[in-house]
Amino acid sequence: MITSSPGPHPVILGGRALPLVSPARVYLCGITPYDVTHLGHAATFVWADAATSIVRLTGAETVVCRNVTDIDDVLTRAAAERDSAYDEFAATQEYLFDRDMAALRVRRPTHNPRARHFVDHVIQLAAALLETGHGYQRDGQVYFRGFPAIPGGAPALDEEHGELTEGPERAEPYDVAVWRASGPDDPGWPSPWGRGRPGWHAECAAIAMSVLGSTVDLVVGGADLAFPHHAYQAALVEAATGVRPFSRAQLSIGAVEIGGEKMAKSTGNLILVSDLLKEHSPAAVRLLLLDRDWREAWSYRPEDLRTAAQRLERLYSAGGRQTEPSGAADAVRSALLRELDVPAALDIAEEADGEAARLVIHTLALA
Ligand code: ZN
């Protein structure tokens, strides 16, 4: 007789259960190492860290790939302004980012690949797209035909999306460069189409395929990356492999704003992680970032760090209780697994037996 057992509860995202066979494969879109780490970056990487930890509550192990975009025009320009080689400059910035992440107790990813070590993979991806008719070549560049994978009605790509508008014309406004011809001041590698460098979406597509395979369970990144970056990453992989979908679920972490404006270097309204940690504990900063709906954009206000620190104190007090387990730990686990509902888990844990609070403190690395 076949009987069903309750088994571990799956993660539920967007109202759909995501049953996992261990290890769960997580692709996390990492940094372009050309500038300081601000609270907006921290929100994405702390949430990715918490999400993978919550995924492990199902009993599945996780394999996390967090790339480093160390071939990018913005990085090349920043390095040139400092009279530095782009790869040396990137390595320094990457070190500073890693230091900030360690200070925030973000666990190291399983794989931390740098784009410049995957140039051959991008060339193979470009060749595959040409072979299957999903790409075309023009003057040393290889373009991916965005349509119909990127449906009509999507915004046409422009400079705002970090897309080429100069140089050889794209056939259609949805097409993106997989391989770009390099000028004398750009980093460049030999290819069948001449000296060039990878396009950004193609870097993340090739790295994901090489490190994790044709499909992943979860793609995580800032909300501003959902389109076009993650849409094109998925479309490129699916075109090359024929396997759909590339990702079973996606976490797009809401932007951090100040006074209604997105925190960004271009607006100059940056709150640096290193500055916050001079005055606040890593646990308080993590709680500030996690005690909310991960999808929503939100505004940073300094006084909210004080509120987070008070919430943390109540949680530690609850964690010290040595009362009989009441089942609240199960309720905490369920809240975390259902849409990563951290605020609900914290509310339960504060009022319950010590076991529930200890579970949430451990899972979210709040001690
Ligand atoms: Zn990416």
CA–CA separation, 232 and 328 (whole Å): 42
Smallest Cα–Cα separation from 104: which of 23, 191, 46? 46
Read off the pLDDT of residues 128-140 as tens digits, 9 standing for 90 and up.
999 999 999 999 9
Distance 229 CA to ligand 1 centre (A): 6
Distance 73 CA to ligand 1 centre (A): 15
DSSP 30-59: ---SSS--BHHHHHHHHHHHHHHHHHGGGT
Distance 208 CA to ligand 1 centre (A): 9
Distance 202 CA to ligand 1 centre (A): 9
Determine contact, residues 105/286, Cβ cutoff 8 Å.
yes
Read off the pLDDT of residues 166-184 as tens digits, 9 standing for 90 and up.
556 788 888 999 999 999 9
Distance 224 CA to ligand 1 centre (A): 11
Determine contact, residues 238/205, Cβ cutoff 8 Å.
no
- Residue 185, classed as helix, strand or coil, is coil
Q: What is the pLDDT of residue 148?
A: 86
Distance 64 CA to ligand 1 centre (A): 13
Smallest Cα–Cα separation from 363: which of 15, 77, 11, 4? 11
pTM recorded for the entire structure: 0.94
Determine contact, residues 135/142, Cβ cutoff 8 Å.
yes
- Residue 356, classed as helix, strand or coil, is helix
Structural element, H or E, at residue 201: helix 200-212
Least confident stretch, 5-19, 29-43, 148-162: 148-162
Distance 79 CA to ligand 1 centre (A): 21
Read off the pLDDT of residues 75-126 as tens digits, 9 standing for 90 and up.
999 999 999 999 999 999 999 999 999 999 999 999 999 999 999 999 999 9
Distance 201 CA to ligand 1 centre (A): 6
Distance 354 CA to ligand 1 centre (A): 40
Beta-bridged to residue 252, according to DSSP, are 221
Q: Is the dihedral of CA 107, 367, 57, 251 positive or negative?
A: negative
CA–CA separation, 224 and 242 (whole Å): 27
Distance 303 CA to ligand 1 centre (A): 33
- Residue 196, classed as helix, strand or coil, is strand
Read off the pLDDT of residues 266-313 as tens digits, 9 standing for 90 and up.
788 899 999 999 999 999 999 999 999 999 999 999 999 999 999 999
Read off the pLDDT of residues 234-265 as tens digits, 9 standing for 90 and up.
999 999 999 999 999 999 999 999 988 888 77
CB atoms within 10 A of CB 364: 25
Query: In the chain, what percentage of residues exceed pLDDT 70?
Result: 95
**Token reading at 165:** 């508008």
- First-to-last alpha carbon distance for the chain, in angstroms, is 47
CA–CA separation, 182 and 13 (whole Å): 41
Ordered by where they begin, the domains of the chain are 20-256 (3.40.50.620), 302-367 (no CATH)
Distance 30 CA to ligand 1 centre (A): 6
Determine contact, residues 261/302, Cβ cutoff 8 Å.
no
**Token reading at 114:** 């740098």
Distance 118 CA to ligand 1 centre (A): 13
* 157, pLDDT greater than 80: no
DSSP 79-107: HHHTT--HHHHHHHHHHHHHHHHHHTTPP
Distance 329 CA to ligand 1 centre (A): 35
Distance 221 CA to ligand 1 centre (A): 8
Q: Would strands 247-253 and 216-222 be described as parallel, antiparallel, or unpaired?
A: parallel
